[in-house]
């Protein structure tokens, strides 16, 4: 049992058309070995059985609470739940995902050991239609500038959420967690990855990120690149520098491929001569 149980952690679970998975997500919260948590279930005006399921969990354990709002999208639902959170730390959990039993415990231990930390996450696995390790690229600000390398259910301080103004509610189409991590980290702070699988990401036929039309996704990328232009320039350099770097990498790759082909020809030459008719 953790010695840091005096720290309250708020798990925020937005739900829209995910009622069929909600029990599984909430059970993974109830199973935590770290017991000083609250779990705020946010019904984003879902047309399914979210309300009935959520209220049953509120009756089951007083650490669960239930909120409902007009539909505002994922960012709006997270912000609504976090605004009511009493915890010093926040863990967003989508209603179709799960967390491992020691995720909160290990995350709080990491924060206590390093006060410079802004974000703590872990190794992850995919489940559902796919069952395999989720091989996220190693965290660095450079890698974060190129794409999101931190899943949505990382742990962070509520004060950092307040500092950046929460999740951007203009980003209803997706990529809101990527923008949020950039906003928290671009002026400093450390990130820690727990070397254990503590997050389980459900793969389904339909998901918000997969269903974004290409044009809409490109517009979201443009929006983030303009909003955080300072961050992208600091990490990637100017557009010309970034393109030059990419072209250089491409040329180096071609040289490597050609050298491997030549090496393979040398190695296979005796064999091909042996089998030549």
Do 151 and 187 sit in the same domain of this protein?
yes
Asked whether residue 253 is assigned to any structural domain, the reply reads yes
In the chain the beta strands, taken as DSSP E runs, fall at: 9-15, 37-43, 64-68, 89-92, 98-99, 117-128, 132-134, 155-157, 190-203
The pLDDT, as a whole number, for residue 254 is: 56
Do 220 and 243 sit in the same domain of this protein?
no
CB atoms within 10 A of CB 190: 14
CB-count exposure of residue 153 (10 Å: 0-12, 13-18, 19+): buried
- Measure CA 253 to chain center: 30
Q: How many domains does the chain have?
A: 2
Asked whether residue 112 is assigned to any structural domain, the reply reads yes
Do 137 and 215 sit in the same domain of this protein?
yes
Do 49 and 139 sit in the same domain of this protein?
yes
The pLDDT, as a whole number, for residue 178 is: 97
Asked whether residue 1 is assigned to any structural domain, the reply reads no
Residue with tokens 């509120």: 58
Among 158, 176, 157, residue whose Cα is nearest residue 167: 176
* 58-110 pLDDT per residue, tens: 999 999 999 999 999 999 999 999 999 999 999 999 999 999 999 999 999 99
Do 78 and 124 sit in the same domain of this protein?
yes
The pLDDT, as a whole number, for residue 99 is: 98
SS3 43: strand
Q: Per-residue pLDDT for 231 more than 80? A: yes
* 113-129 pLDDT per residue, tens: 999 999 999 999 999 99
Do 248 and 127 sit in the same domain of this protein?
no
Do 58 and 105 sit in the same domain of this protein?
yes
Beta-bridge partners for 191: 119
The whole-angstrom separation of Cα 68 and Cα 46 is 9
| Helix or strand holding residue 220 (H, E) | helix 214-227
Beta-bridge partners for 10: 38, 90
Do 21 and 154 sit in the same domain of this protein?
yes
Q: What is the CATH number of the domain that holds 163?
A: 3.90.550.10
Do 177 and 243 sit in the same domain of this protein?
no
Asked whether residue 107 is assigned to any structural domain, the reply reads yes
The pLDDT, as a whole number, for residue 276 is: 36
Do 137 and 37 sit in the same domain of this protein?
yes
Q: Per-residue pLDDT for 271 more than 50? A: no
Higher pLDDT, 216 or 232: 232
The mean pLDDT of the chain is 88
Asked whether residue 4 is assigned to any structural domain, the reply reads no
Q: How confident is the model at residue 166 (pLDDT cuts 50, 70, 90)?
A: very high
The pLDDT, as a whole number, for residue 213 is: 82
The pLDDT, as a whole number, for residue 264 is: 47
Do 158 and 275 sit in the same domain of this protein?
no
Residue 65 phi/psi, 5° resolution? -135, 160
Do 268 and 146 sit in the same domain of this protein?
no
Higher pLDDT, 242 or 225: 225
CB atoms within 10 A of CB 233: 15
Q: Per-residue pLDDT for 244 more than 70? A: no
Question: Residue 229 is part of which domain span?
Answer: 9-235
Residue with tokens 């069952």: 131
């Amino acid at each position: 049992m953790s010695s840091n149980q005096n720290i309250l952690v708020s798990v925020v679970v937005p739900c829209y058309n995910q009622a069929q998975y909600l029990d599984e997500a909430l059970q993974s919260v109830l199973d935590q070995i770290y017991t000083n948590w609250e779990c705020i279930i946010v019904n984003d005006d879902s047309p399914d059985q979210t309300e009935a399921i959520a209220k049953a969990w509120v009756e089951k354990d007083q650490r669960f609470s239930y909120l409902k709002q007009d539909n505002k999208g994922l960012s709006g639902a997270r912000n609504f739940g976090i605004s009511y959170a009493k915890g010093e730390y926040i863990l967003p959990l989508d209603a179709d995902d799960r967390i491992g039993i020691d995720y909160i415990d290990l995350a709080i231990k990491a924060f206590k050991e390093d006060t410079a930390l802004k974000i703590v996450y872990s190794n992850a696995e995919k489940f559902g239609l796919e069952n395999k390790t989720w091989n996220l690229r190693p965290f660095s600000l450079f890698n974060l500038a190129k794409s999101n390398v931190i899943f949505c259910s990382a742990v962070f301080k509520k004060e950092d959420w307040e500092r950046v103004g929460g999740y951007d509610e203009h980003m209803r189409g997706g990529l809101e967690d990527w923008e949020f991590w950039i906003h928290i980290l671009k002026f400093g702070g450390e990130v820690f990855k727990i070397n254990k699988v503590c997050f389980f990401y459900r793969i389904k036929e339909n998901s918000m990120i997969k269903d974004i039309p290409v044009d809409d996704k490109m517009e979201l990328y443009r929006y983030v690149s303009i909003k955080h232009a300072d961050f992208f320039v600091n990490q990637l350099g100017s557009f010309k520098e970034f393109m030059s770097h990419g072209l250089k990498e491409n040329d180096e790759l071609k040289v490597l491929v050609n050298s491997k082909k030549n090496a393979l020809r040398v190695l296979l030459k005796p064999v091909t001569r042996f089998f030549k008719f």
